Each structure stands twice: as structure tokens, then as C-alpha cells.
Amino acid sequence: MSSTNRTVMKAAGFLMAAQMASRVLGFLRESLMAGFFGQSGVTDAYNTAFVLPDLLYWLLVGGVLSAAFIPVFSEYIAKGNEDEGWRVVSSVVNLIFLTLGLLVLLGLFFTPQFIHLVVPGFEPQNSLLAIHLTRILLIQPLFMALSGLTMGVLNSYKIFWPSALGTVLYNACIIFFGTILANPEKPESVSGFAFGVVVGAFVSFAVQIPALRKVGIRYTPVIDLRNRGVRLIGALAIPIILSYSLNQIQVVVNNNFGSQLFPGSITAVWYSYRLFQLPVGIFALAIAVATFPTMTEQASLKRWDDFRQTLSNAVRMVIFITLPISVGMIVLRFPLIRVLFEHGHFVAKDTQTMAIPLFYFSLGISSQAVIQILPRAFYALQDTWTPVILGIISMAINVLAMYLLVGPLAHGGLAFATTIAAFINMILLFYLLRKKMGKMDGKAMFWTSLKTLAASLIMAGVIWLWSGLLTPLLGTRTFGSLLLLISGTVLGALVFAGAAKLLRMEELKQILGLVYRKFGTR
């Protein structure tokens, strides 16, 4: 493994650890909420309240950050022109905050109309609760914008730990305020979790300030629309903004259908989605974030062979990690849900309800993981239109699939539609990126996928037999489910590692090598 890829993997390893801590806290947060309020209209209202704040953030910050801000600023740094890069940063930050502030004010005023559009099937009390929670959460995008833009600057300098720590503290704040303010007898007390979100967003920004000062912040109160870098960021960001605007149609359609099913269906899909996103967030996103500045630098310096190798290593690694997790989550989904959620007001019936969308989501974990990386390869090449066009196509497929599947599969159809769209998006991204680059080390990626699938299926068979033997002995209560989950996971990991070793998979050697170096053994 080259020194560049070793550096990338070390950064990815740190980000994985931080994401793991953040996701564990995130599931503690979801578990506490499930215990307090179950899987009900109250939790449906809470989850719906994120739609508008998230829309504003991703429209003005998320798209600019992922597709334009980091590549452009990284290029200024790589070419030794930091002063001009900071002028670009200042202009973009000022422009975003002026626009975002105006949209937040408009959002506060038109919240009732937006909620009625998104969830027309809600009962009146749940609609009112969703409106109240949305107005609290609308403060969040302002702090998240500060946090996200600061993260973009630090990532351009290949400094990742402050933003990673910020995500951990973000969830810790939600848990703290949600727990001390929640009262199951008072549905409106769920607003404690919403208040924690706002405080957490502020803390996730504040913790990055020392690192930002260390790199030498050079902010100026200017909006220079004639600057080449500002114009380039605008040109690169426009298609992403369009993509995220259209992408929210999926969220609206999902909530629209969910609001017309049984109470708690939106929550069942949301909790399943959170579990589905766990390996994507811990592993794929960490590798993508760590790889992106390196790919951007390699592209700006036209080191195309290095670029291809970095991309290939990232894709093969996320497939190797996430495919067995996908299979394992399908086999162990019932004990997983029981351990994480089945307590308090979340009962056995809710577990059965949640297991349906989790099955369909789990089928698409690897596809979703790969599409965390492939669009960033296009962004590093300063091509933002191709992923956007493909994203729009997959969005249309998702909406159509929801419409067709919600009837026969109910809330499971909403999850399956997401999996179908992610798989098609991944295939199209691969095809067009190969067409753009000429070659992509596709043979290595194919064999990694095939060998990983074979090892994962062997692992699944062993876990399934183990589960069949142990469940009658341990029962389905929390302690028995925890023993089954832990033993099944350890057994599955050992079987998968053994199968991967027999198949002589390079990815296993890379992971073991990093672990040995980390702990000083050989």
C-alpha cells in the first residue's frame, strides 16, 4: 500500500472511530426516545419536523460544501495561494448566511403550510406538534452551516478530528436535554430533544474554533461576486443545489405516504433508516471524507494513476466492509431491534413492524456506501452535473417505486424503493465514471465484490444456524437477544475473516496491517 493510501486509511480509521462513537450515541438517543414515546404519532411528528430545516441546510450548505467548497479551496492550498483562497471562503460564507437567514425567517412564517403539504394524513394534534417542533429546529441550520463550513476549511487542510468530535458532542447534547425534559405523559415534552438538537449544532461548531484559529483564519466581511473562485464555486454548486431541491421530493413523498398509513409508520421507516445508515456513516462516509481531499489534490496536479488507485482502494474497502454487515443485519435484525429499541413504550409489535423496512433497507447498504464515494470522484474532477443528473434519475425511480410498492408492501415498500434507486444510481455512476476516465481498475473491484459476497453468504449461513439453535434456549427478551446479537456478530466476523483469508483478499491484509501498526505489533 502506497504512503498516500496509508495516510488516507489512517485518517479514515480515525473518522470511523469518531463516527462509531457518534452513531452509538445517536442510537442511544433514538432508543431513549423510543422508550419515552414508543413508535407513535408523537415520534412521527418529531421526525417530520426535520424535513424543512434539513432542506434549508442541504440547499445552501451541504451541496456547496461537498461538491464545490472543498475542491476549490483545496486547489488554492495545493498551489500555495492561501490568501486568495481565504477571500473566496469569506465571500461564500457571507453570501450563504445572508441567504440562509432570510430563508429561516420565511420558514418560521410558513411552517404550518409546509407541514400540511408534507403530512396531509396527520391527525390535528400531531400536525400542531410537528409545527411547534419545526419552528424550534429552524434555528439549527444556522449553527450547522457554521459547523459545516468550518469543517470544509479544516478538511481542506486534511484536519479531520475537530468535526468528528463535534458530531459526538452533538448527539451528547440531544441525549442530555431530551432525557431531562422528556415526559411520556406529555407529548409536547418531546421538544426537549429538539432543543438539544439546536444546542448540539452550536457545540459542534464551537469545538472546531481552536483548530480553525490554529490554521490561521483570515476572514474578511466581503462578498466578491467577481472573484474567479467564488464564481467557480457557484457554477459547481448550482447543479448540486438543484439536485438537493429535487431530492426533497423523495422525503416529501415518503412522509406523505407514511402519514396515510398506520400511526408510527414514519417512525418505523426512520428508525430502520438510521440502522441502515449506521455502516454507511461509520465506514463509507469516513473513507469518502478522508479520500476526497487526496483525490482533489491528485486531480488538480493531474496525477491520474494515483487518482485511479485511490478511488479503487476506497471503493473496494467499503464493499469489503459493508457487504458482510448488510448480510449480517438481515439475519440478526430481530435481536438487533429488540436490544436497541424494545423497552418502555416500544413493544414487541413495534419490533415486528420495524423489522420489515429494515430488511429492505439492508439489501441496499453496499450500494448506498459506494455512492458516498463515486460522486466525490466526479466532484474532484470538478464535474458536478453528471452525479446530479444521475441523482435526479434515481430520485424519479425512487418516487415511482414508492408509488408502486407502498400498496403491496406498505411501509416496507418505502424502504425497498430507496434500495432500488441506490443500486441503479451506483451502476450508472460506475458506467459514466469509467467512460470519463477510460479505465477504473474495474477488474479488481469486480473480484473484490464477488469474493466478499461469497464470504458473506458463508457467514450468513453459519449465523442463521447459530440463531436457530440459540433462540429457543435464550428466548426473545432483551438479555437473550443481546447474547444472541453479540455471539452471532463475533461468530460471523470470525467466519467472514476466515473465508476472506482463504480467498486471499488483499483488503483483509490492509485492515489487519493497519490494526497491527496501530497497536505496535507485527
pLDDT band for position 14 (50/70/90)?
A: low
What is the average pLDDT across 257-268? 83
Cell numbers found for residue 380: 474532484
Give yes or no for a contact between 392 and 243, defined as CB atoms under 8 angstroms apart: yes
Tell me what pLDDT residue 1 has.
Answer: 52
pLDDT band for position 341 (50/70/90)?
A: confident
Residue 239 has pLDDT above 90, yes or no: no
User: Mean pLDDT across the chain, nearest whole number?
Assistant: 85
Tell me what pLDDT residue 67 has.
Answer: 57
The DSSP code for 40 is S
Tell me what pLDDT residue 521 has.
Answer: 45
Phi and psi, residue 261, nearest 5°: -95, -155
Q: Whole-angstrom distance between the N-terminal and C-terminal Cα of the chain?
A: 16
CA–CA distance, 483 with 488 (Å, rounded to integer): 8
Tell me what pLDDT residue 151 has.
Answer: 80
Q: What percent of the chain has pLDDT over 70?
A: 91
What is the average pLDDT across 44-61? 85
- Lowest mean pLDDT segment, chosen from 13-17, 130-134, 210-214, 319-323: 13-17
Q: What is the 3-state secondary structure (H, E, C) of 273-317?
A: HHHHHHHHHHHHHHHHHHHHHHHHHHHHCCCHHHHHHHHHHHHHH
Q: Which of 10-24, 80-94, 278-292, 455-469 tops mean pLDDT?
A: 455-469
What is the average pLDDT across 30-45? 85
Residue 249 vs residue 266, higher pLDDT: 266
Residue 459 has pLDDT above 50, yes or no: yes
Residue 9 has pLDDT above 60, yes or no: no
Residue 115 has pLDDT above 70, yes or no: yes
CA–CA distance, 415 with 406 (Å, rounded to integer): 9
CA–CA distance, 459 with 457 (Å, rounded to integer): 5
CA–CA distance, 74 with 95 (Å, rounded to integer): 20
CA–CA distance, 354 with 375 (Å, rounded to integer): 31
pLDDT band for position 352 (50/70/90)?
A: very high
CA–CA distance, 284 with 84 (Å, rounded to integer): 33
- Lowest mean pLDDT segment, chosen from 181-190, 221-230, 371-380: 221-230
Residue 213 has pLDDT above 90, yes or no: no
The DSSP code for 59 is I
Q: What secondary structure does DSSP assign to 321-365, as a single string?
A: HHHHHHHHHHHTHHHHHHHHH-STT--HHHHHHHHHHHHHHHTTH
Residue 522 has pLDDT above 50, yes or no: no
pLDDT band for position 516 (50/70/90)?
A: low
What is the average pLDDT across 64-77? 68
pLDDT band for position 10 (50/70/90)?
A: low
Judged on CB neighbours under 10 Å (0-12, 13-18, 19+), 477 is: exposed
Domain boundaries, the chain: 41-263, 303-522
CA–CA distance, 397 with 403 (Å, rounded to integer): 10
Other CB atoms within 10 Å distance of the CB of residue 124: 7
Residue 2 has pLDDT above 70, yes or no: no
Residue 493 vs residue 228, higher pLDDT: 493
pLDDT digits (tens, 9 = 90+) for 404-428: 999 899 999 999 999 999 999 999 9
Contacts of residue 337, Cβ cutoff 8 Å, sequence gap at least 6: 275, 351, 354, 355, 358
